[in-house]
Chains A and B, each alone.
Chain A
Amino acid sequence: MIADWSQQIVLAATILSWFIIGAGLAQTAIYLLQLIFAGYALSKRPPVARSALLWHRYGDVAPPIALLVPAYNEALNVVESVHSMLALEYPNFEVVVINDGSKDDTLQRLIDAFKLVKFRRPYEEALAHQPIRGLYSSPMTERLFVVDKENGGKADAQNAGINVCRAPLFCVIDGDSILEPDALMRAVQPFIDDPERTIAVGGTIRIANGSKIEAGRVREIHLPRRLLPLLQVVEYLRAFLMARLAWSSINTLMLVSGAFGMFRRAEVVAVGGFTKGSMGEDLDLVIKLHRHMRDIRRKYRIQFIPEPVCWTEAPETLSVLARQRTRWQRGALECFFRYRSMLFNPRYGRVGFLGFGHILIVDVLGPVAEVLGYILIPAFWLLGILSAEYLLAFTSLIFTYGVCVSVCSLVLEEAELQRFPRARDLAVLTAVAVIENFGYRQLNNFWRVKGWWQFLRGNQGWGEMTRTGLGGAKK
């Protein structure tokens, strides 16, 4: 009887171990694939031209762009953000700030700063959203419009902005983010080079904590002084310069960040805009665009280009970061299950196989397998089911591989952007690439499993994102 039980335990342990190993190997294979694709894409990409040259070259043919800035309780940053957006170097753009029923004085600060007056502007009610209370324009600049609407969430606010804007292209950006002056000019390039096929373009998001910010511009780039945002710097490099560059090179990019993405309005309207109430409205929109374009059998491109940079503030406390990560996880799961019919569906080609396969392995199974691994593998070793030698060898391999992947993303950063000005920064980031594997990586996976749990329980809250504001000088 006891022998029977022990046999079954060993069998269950073996199955679980293989599941964990299988998920780990699949993730490893995906990262390796991403590195190869990203390296290849980078070798094919020309080094970037100077901003002045871009203006000279593309200024006359650059299409109009509407910059949509949803703002909810952004009183701290909003005026400075809008000033910096109005100063962007682009020949033809308008800034549409959407005050999403803020409880603070976001709207009043805008009214005071830009002497806003109520304005009537006809617009197409192509997308549904909460009622608009008023439109405002500024006598100080023709480029600025403010939409004051009832609260409906970020996606709802963005839909209102899409309705009101008149440009054929729109760019979404978070109210607390800072675009580099030439970011629009760089991001619009695919729309100039291939205007018929390009429907969306994403740029790089970088962490501004620690950098010197004046008048809504990043004047001096520094690494964050605190460990938590520093760890996120390496994470963002990996996510943008490795993963997105790789998937973009084979037109399988599944995410154009809501913090900085440019879209063709007509296609976004055709898919119904951003999905209201979605936890991952940016991922959701890109999946809808893929599905729509493949359904109507039209050639299209959704691209990531590394050069246009948007700076954002990263969470500096564990509690805020935990809320952000659990929300991201819920967003990924929500999109995965909402569009699950696309998974491995030949109709959707590489998007169904590679794009959705990636979400399945990295976002759906990945965190569960990794956390199970952290708990069960040592438990099996304690129970004598697993040999200590194997435990140590595999653990060491997992960590060194993680370090190697991070280091390779630093290579990509160095080859492409070189935004960190000092050699010392590279040394610091190398150390961080090692450190993040001991504690931060596990914590992140724990938050993602928590996100899984919240998703299963139907928790749809966004949670408060406490901001200290980028406007202040060096933090």
Chain B
Amino acid sequence: MWYIWDLSILLSALSLVIMLFLIARRVVQEHRDSAAADQRRQLLTALIAFTESRDKEALKAAVLGVPAGVAINAGFEFISLLRGEERDDVLVAFIECGLPTLVGKQLERGNVADRIHATEMLAALGSEEAWGRLLAALDHDRSREVRIAAAIALCDLGSLPLLGVALDKIGVAGQRSRRLIELFRRFPRSRFNELAVHASRVDAVPFVRAAAIDALARAGGFGFSDFFAGLTGDASPEVVAAALRALGHTGHPEAPAILARAMENEDWDVRAAAAESAGRLSLPELAAPLSRLMDDEMWAVRYAAANALLSSGQPGELLLREIAASEVSRSQRTASLILAEGPAA
């Protein structure tokens, strides 16, 4: 019996102690936050003054006069607003104040959010020390988000290891993140061949291959059109769809035949991608397969096909009107809906 009472008393005491601790902690924190806000204001004032006076020594004194955390956060928030010479001058002052070392420590010892932020700051600082620390983070950090962020930062600094090596370090789980799309979009033109090699690796994750194709299509231009055309025969529907969309950006002499074939594919995403690209390339010879796709079982395919017809000029629009005026069917309904889009009469 007494143990029940004891347990009750213990729970009450525990609750009381916890809450007293939390309240006391919050009071201390309020004081600290207020002090940090003042210091932040001082530093921002000094930074604004620096953009006018360019007095580096005064800025360094201000940076060194506030705690490292305040200097790092307020400082980098400020430089994100600057461009050109002003930004370079502020960065030089930050480097001379030893901020890269402090940020490097944050990259080693901070929590995940701090470490990701540290990679971005190191990319902005761009010192020798930054490269080393970012490479170490890509190598050893236990969080895949931090490893991806380190890879992006290294890419910005032009020091990313070979793509295959970097992806291995990021790990398989990290290769599902949409952040990789950002990494690939930042890839320098001189290293596009690495993206192409990775996109054609059948053992690689389809999502990553598709992202690589997308990045190449956006920035690579016509030079990769043969490569994209080759990938439209890949076994992975995700890769085929990406390659078809890429062809829609670059064009290709064989595009009409490739797209017509893809419109027969059993995967609806591939059919939709083919229709989308046909619309982008405005190929009149694809009017017939596109009109067939308007009877597709998937709405996304029907919608893409109808839009493709509409965007392929007057013949396509006429065909669409013809379908809309025909007997009631799935194609007819789709055509009517697409033609009616816009403000009501």
Contact = CB atoms under 8 A, between A and B. Distances in A.
Asked if A pairs with B, the answer is yes
Contacts of A61: 178-179, 181-182
Interface residues of B, number: 50
B84 interface: no
A161 to B, nearest CB: 16
Given A194-B177, A401-B11, A426 B111 contact: no
Nearest to B28: A423
B8 A56 contact: no
Interface in A76-121: 117-121
Interface in B101-159: 111-114, 116-117, 120, 143, 145, 149
B176 A195 contact: yes
B235 interface: no
A150 B310 CA distance: 32
A332 to B, nearest CB: 28
Given A49-B116, A192-B177, A411 B342 contact: no
A123 B27 CA distance: 55
B182 A120 contact: no
Contacts of A47: 111, 113-114
B181 A122 contact: no
A403 B15 contact: yes
Contacts of B185: 60
B229 to A, nearest CB: 27
Interface stretch (A9-17, A236-244, A390-398, A458-466): A390-398
A195 B1 CA distance: 54
B19 interface: yes
B215 to A, nearest CB: 11
B12 A52 contact: no
A118 B344 CA distance: 5
Interface string B218-229: 000000000000
Interface stretch (B92-100, B246-254, B312-320, B333-341): B333-341
A220 interface: no
A46 interface: yes
B12 A414 contact: no
A119 B25 CA distance: 56
Interface residues of A, number: 52
A122 B303 contact: yes
Contact of B342 (A63, A119, A390, A397): A119
Nearest to B342: A120
Given A49-B117, A56-B80, A195 B178 contact: yes
B15 A192 contact: no
B192 to A, nearest CB: 19
Nearest to B152: A57
Interface in B22-41: 22-23, 25-27, 30
Main secondary structure of the interface of B (DSSP, over half): helix
A393 B7 CA distance: 10
Nearest to B205: A196
A414 B24 CA distance: 12
B22 A410 contact: yes
A405 B194 CA distance: 54
A406 to B, nearest CB: 8
Given A61-B179, A194-B177, A400-B12, A426 B5 contact: no
Interface in A349-394: 389-390, 393-394
B18 interface: yes
24 contacts: A46-B111, A47-B111, A47-B114, A52-B77, A58-B179, A61-B178, A61-B181, A118-B344, A119-B344, A120-B344, A122-B337, A122-B338, A192-B177, A192-B178, A193-B179, A196-B176, A196-B207, A197-B176, A396-B5, A400-B11, A404-B11, A404-B12, A423-B30, A427-B19
Interface of B: 1, 4-5, 7-9, 11-12, 14-15, 18-19, 22-23, 25-27, 30, 77, 80, 111-114, 116-117, 120, 143, 145, 149, 176-179, 181-182, 185, 207, 299-300, 303, 306, 334, 337-338, 340-344
Interface of A: 46-49, 52-53, 56-58, 60-61, 63, 117-124, 126, 134, 137, 191-197, 389-390, 393-394, 396-397, 399-401, 403-404, 407-408, 410-411, 414, 422-423, 426-427, 430, 433
